[in-house]
Chains A and B, each alone.
Chain A
Amino acid sequence: MEELKCKLLVIGSGPGGYVCAIRAGQLGVDTIIVEAKAHGGTCLNVGCIPSKALIHAAEKFSHAIHFTSDNPLGISVQKPQIDLQKTVAWKDGIVARLNGGVGILLKRAGVRAIIGHARFRDGKSVFVKTDMGEQLIHAEKIVIATGSVPFEIPSLPFGGDVISSTGALALTAVPKQLIVVGGGYIGLEIGTAMAKLGANVTVVEFAARILPQYDTDLTKPVADRLAALGVTVMLNAKAEGLNAAKDALRVTLEGGEKTELPFDKVLVAVGRKARTQDCGLDELALKMNGTFIQIDNRCQTSMRDVFAIGDVTGEPMLAHRAIAQGEMTAEIVAGGPQAWDKQCIPAVCFTDPEIVTAGLGPDEARALGHDIVTPGFTPEEELVLNREIVIGKFPFTANGRAMTMESESGFIRVVARASDHVILGIQATGGGISELAATFALAIEMGARLEDIAGTIHAHPTQSEGLQEAALKALGHAIHI
């Protein structure tokens, strides 16, 4: 058995792992990255990228369908068809291109990449099962970036027509009846796309509303759009399992009534869990945080020189969080003083319309509110310490660009501290709003105040003007509303 030595071993080549490895390589750290399947992890192979490809195709197709009937643009289209097999091949092409790209970037950074399944021997060495046999790698420092896998409902195991998001993204034909178990963003993104592609979609959600992590202001346009697309949303409904014939889903409705929903496919998207099972983590006995690996603000686990980044460390399970952790960890491994000091992790939900959140929402900000006021200060100081908030909201119905794109639903909302106008959070929903996520995050990361946003020229005509208007609204002098 061949033995390899390196300074840094990264396990998992998802967005966190490969960024960590590349950055470490740039910093001159002797680095090996081990990946069981393909570079890019969930995000690139079965997550963000392929789902966005599917959503894009579905959107285009739905436009085409839209044009078959009378429409204000005066475009007419005859009977559009979609060859989903071709769509999937196109999507796979993108994924393959990005896979290869990651490989090249790793190589350019001087990182040795090994395809194989890693299993810990101890905190300093890892067995890797490759096609060529087993290899032992000794490393001074190890980064665990094994990511996450879809959560499986015990009574509804994956297999056959019960599919995970991974399976849904590989469908080569549009199912007639699609049941989506889980009204979170993964289920809704894929469910919406499938509905646009012609599937009859039913969403079964255990909670009282869809996208429960967002406030109802933000989710209402999505709910409206789902209704317009003919998607049935069953709230307070529990998926119990398949019937005996395995052609219908047993569901307990609100109030205890039971029903069976026939299906062609059931997509179970009820969350994701850390991938910690099959990599010998027991050997390390790391301190866990629930099912996730516990880390500190430098991504250190409870074992010295063993780091963990990305989904395996818990919520929020977002690629860009993993990327930031990966970069930081590489710099720490190279001896840097870094520690996690990000002000916000923006989140994007590619539903229709899209939802973006950065920083604190009104409820969260309020929750941090009044009780923070410390008595005993002078009135001036109390004013500064007071966390009363102001909110400015600008609807896209008043935005010219939104009108020209037939995309008037949604709004941009700014939450700021009343005393000094420091922006605490920005939320928005609307078509294409995901591209403003960076602006929102930048404002918060730079510690912008309402006046900073209001005083920045926002190019006309763009949806981004909505941000400036929302800031002006919070300041009490919006122009266009």
Chain B
Amino acid sequence: MGLYTIKLPDVGEGIAEAELGVWKVAIGDVVKEDDILTEMMTDKAAVEIPSSVSGRVVWLGCDAGDILSIGADLIRLEVEGVGNTGAEAASANVEPASKPDAKVATPELAQAAAASTPQPGLQLGDGKGLHEIKVPDVGEGIAEAELTGWSVAVGAEVQEDDIIAEVMTEKAAVEIPSDISGTVLYLGGAVGDTLAIGSTLMLLEVDGTGNTTVEVALQKMGSSVTSPAAAPAKSATAPVSKARPTAAAPRAESKSAAPASPYRRAEGEKPLTTPSVRKRAREMGVDLRLVSGSGPAGRITHEDLTHFHQSGGQSATGIAKRPRLTAETEEKVIGLRRKIAERMALSKSRIPHITIVEEIDVTDLEDLRSQLNKARAESRGKLTMLPFVIRAIVDAVAAQPNLNAHFEDDHSVLRKFQAVHVGIATQTPGGLIVPVVRHCEALSLWDSAAELGRLATAAKAGKAKAEDLSGSTITITSLGPLGALATTPIINYPEVAIVGINKMEVRPHWDGSGFVPRKKMNISCSFDHRVIDGWDAAVFVQKLKSLFEAPALLMLED
């Protein structure tokens, strides 16, 4: 007969612990190999745990609902043959639920205690009595039992119902509780001893008279104990209470933790594995150099590969890596997005763009704008920068009509317009659209501000009408506060120019004697270089700059 321990198996989902379900067996049950013992709940599923051997259940590692580490002892069976567990190892963590103070007492301690007290020091305090706990009859006509573990040591305080020892019969391991509270004076044997049923298991000092006397107890222990009270109980127990907890705790720890130590491959060393794993890795698209192997010498097993793959590149040995994300999604480019794509491609493929970036001092413009807003916001509405830009463009193209034009390149016609219909590139939830402020040449600043507001609302709500979205002759693009230092705007084909507004910020300005803070803003303007020469482009940009920097010019007619 031997003891066989079944540990909580790794179900391969990379979990470290699992919740136990209902036990399908109880202590004393006979189970056959492959019988279901219990089930464990992982994050993903309830997994049934079968028995790997046949035998009789002698110990259960926890109660239903408990959380148990992978690899922790789950159940112990008495099996034919030697089993896989020594009785001492088994007793080491026999009672996971026992109280901390009881845990300190280990088999070794108990042994040591037993050895150091060959003669029980049965000196009782005032008003105390001696209480004997006998090896109980654990049933089925058994005459003796093997002591497999002490839960307490001499000197320990024991409460009623505390587990004090575990004995093993031919059929089962049985925990023996104390039937009384008291202080342990004597242990009836060392771990591994065989004790007769009814013999003294433990003597306790208890309140009251107890159930036996020193004389009786000594007599019962036989002639080997002749001199009572030779060593005072307290002094005998002193080393015990000081002794460090050994064996049991560390051993149990190493059992439950057991992490596979990450295996380090030398730089450039090929991963050790088998051809079938290599092939599968290729098919999965996994780079085996990133997978750590749990096998001997760090060999990568199929399980390692599966784990690595399923965890999105997390190595089996728990070295955290930023996971590689491999999912791809396909999105059909349709509707407005496809339209934008076509328009952009058309413009970029047909028009040789020339882009000019210029810095503009808008301090004065901003001052003017804020004054106007202060004075007239309530009556005429608030002005943003855009109406000024529109006005500047209107003024600039009046002098350079070539820029307010469509180049119908299929027919080699440059169609110039007197009307200035300014497209405003606008971001909407559906994508970029270009509502058009029509006849800007005829609009005051506030008129265009109002029109801009109407168009923006309509565009963002998706209610812009077709005529609101077509017919522009020149376009403004602005990313607002995100507007960056410079951009390379793409011309709204078949127009020939686009004005990009960049972010405004306070920058140091050299005024001839020192730096002064000025509000500055870049504009990035692109032109169709087929019909607009660099000179004309530069003149246009300088015109805009002069208008922005001397905003009074913008206000001449207003």
Q: Is residue A256 within 8 Å, beta carbon to beta carbon, of the partner chain?
A: no
Contact of A446 among B275, B282, B283, B298 (CB under 8 A): B275
* CB-CB contacts below 8 Å: B490-536 with A: none
Nearest A residue to B272, CB-CB: A447
Flag if A385 contacts B297 (CB, 8 Å): no
Residues in A with CB closer than 8 Å to B273 are 447
With A421-B297, A447-B297 already in contact, the answer to whether A374 and B275 are too (CB < 8 A) is no
Flag if A384 contacts B264 (CB, 8 Å): yes
* Bitwise interface map of A from 311 to 347 toward B, beta carbon under 8 Å scored 1, else 0: 0000000000000000000000000111101010000
* CB-CB contacts below 8 Å: B243-295 with A: 263-264, 266-267, 270, 272-275, 278-279, 282-283, 285
Flag if B299 contacts A337 (CB, 8 Å): no
Q: Is residue A393 within 8 Å, beta carbon to beta carbon, of the partner chain?
A: no
Residues in B with CB closer than 8 Å to A445 are 274-275
With A384-B264, A422-B297 already in contact, the answer to whether A343 and B270 are too (CB < 8 A) is yes
Q: Is residue A381 within 8 Å, beta carbon to beta carbon, of the partner chain?
A: yes
Q: Is residue B296 within 8 Å, beta carbon to beta carbon, of the partner chain?
A: yes
Q: How far is the CA of A307 from the CA of B297 in the complex (A)?
A: 36
Q: How far is the CA of A381 from the CA of B282 in the complex (A)?
A: 29
Which of A387, A422, A451 counts the most chain B CB atoms within 10 A?
A422
Nearest B residue to A373, CB-CB: B266
Q: Is residue A372 within 8 Å, beta carbon to beta carbon, of the partner chain?
A: yes
Q: How many residues of A contact B (CB 8 A)?
A: 21
With A337-B285, A447-B297 already in contact, the answer to whether A377 and B267 are too (CB < 8 A) is no
Flag if B285 contacts A420 (CB, 8 Å): no
Flag if B274 contacts A374 (CB, 8 Å): no
Contact of A447 among B263, B274, B282, B283 (CB under 8 A): B274
* CB-CB contacts below 8 Å: A420-473 with B: 420-422, 445-447, 449, 451
* Bitwise interface map of A from 410 to 427 toward B, beta carbon under 8 Å scored 1, else 0: 000000000011100000
Flag if A420 contacts B267 (CB, 8 Å): no
* CB-CB contacts below 8 Å: A365-393 with B: 372, 374, 377, 381, 384-385, 387
Residues in B with CB closer than 8 Å to A343 are 270
With A337-B283, A447-B297 already in contact, the answer to whether A372 and B266 are too (CB < 8 A) is yes
Q: How many residues of B contact A (CB 8 A)?
A: 18
Flag if A387 contacts B297 (CB, 8 Å): no
A368 CB, min distance to chain B CBs, angstroms:
9
Residues in B with CB closer than 8 Å to A377 are 264
Residues in A with CB closer than 8 Å to B274 are 445-447
Q: How far is the CA of A447 from the CA of B275 in the complex (A)?
A: 9
Residues in B with CB closer than 8 Å to A339 are 282
Residues in A with CB closer than 8 Å to B278 are 341
Flag if B282 contacts A338 (CB, 8 Å): yes
Flag if B272 contacts A422 (CB, 8 Å): yes
Q: How far is the CA of A451 from the CA of B275 in the complex (A)?
A: 20
Nearest B residue to A386, CB-CB: B266
Q: How far is the CA of A339 from the CA of B289 in the complex (A)?
A: 14
* Bitwise interface map of B from 290 to 314 toward A, beta carbon under 8 Å scored 1, else 0: 0000001111000000000000000
Residues in B with CB closer than 8 Å to A384 are 263-264, 266, 298
With A337-B282, A341-B278, A447-B273 already in contact, the answer to whether A374 and B267 are too (CB < 8 A) is yes
With A337-B282, A337-B283 already in contact, the answer to whether A372 and B267 are too (CB < 8 A) is yes
Nearest A residue to B298, CB-CB: A420
Residues in B with CB closer than 8 Å to A422 are 272, 297
Which of B267, B282, B285, B297 counts the most chain A CB atoms within 10 A?
B297
With A374-B267, A385-B264 already in contact, the answer to whether A449 and B285 are too (CB < 8 A) is no
Q: How far is the CA of A341 from the CA of B279 in the complex (A)?
A: 9
A257 CB, min distance to chain B CBs, angstroms:
48
Flag if A385 contacts B266 (CB, 8 Å): yes
Flag if B267 contacts A447 (CB, 8 Å): no
Q: How far is the CA of A343 from the CA of B300 in the complex (A)?
A: 14
* CB-CB contacts below 8 Å: A71-94 with B: none
B329 CB, min distance to chain A CBs, angstroms:
21
Q: How far is the CA of A213 from the CA of B282 in the complex (A)?
A: 33
Q: How far is the CA of A339 from the CA of B286 in the complex (A)?
A: 13
Nearest A residue to B279, CB-CB: A338
Residues in A with CB closer than 8 Å to B266 are 372, 374, 384-385, 387
A380 CB, min distance to chain B CBs, angstroms:
8
A31 CB, min distance to chain B CBs, angstroms:
22
Residues in B with CB closer than 8 Å to A385 are 264, 266
Would you list 21 pairs from A and B whose C-beta atoms are within 8 A, ordered by A residue? A337-B282, A337-B283, A338-B282, A339-B282, A341-B278, A343-B270, A372-B266, A372-B267, A374-B266, A381-B264, A384-B263, A384-B264, A385-B264, A387-B266, A421-B297, A422-B272, A445-B275, A447-B273, A447-B274, A447-B297, A449-B296
Other than the given A384-B298, A449-B296, 17 more pairs (CB < 8 A) read: A336-B282, A337-B282, A338-B282, A341-B278, A341-B282, A343-B270, A372-B267, A384-B263, A384-B264, A384-B266, A385-B266, A420-B296, A420-B298, A445-B275, A446-B275, A447-B274, A447-B297
A residues whose Cβ falls under 8 Å from a Cβ of B? 336-339, 341, 343, 372, 374, 377, 381, 384-385, 387, 420-422, 445-447, 449, 451
* The 10 residue pairs across chains A and B that have the minimum distance between CB atoms: A420-B297, A447-B272, A385-B266, A337-B282, A422-B297, A446-B274, A447-B299, A341-B278, A381-B264, A372-B266
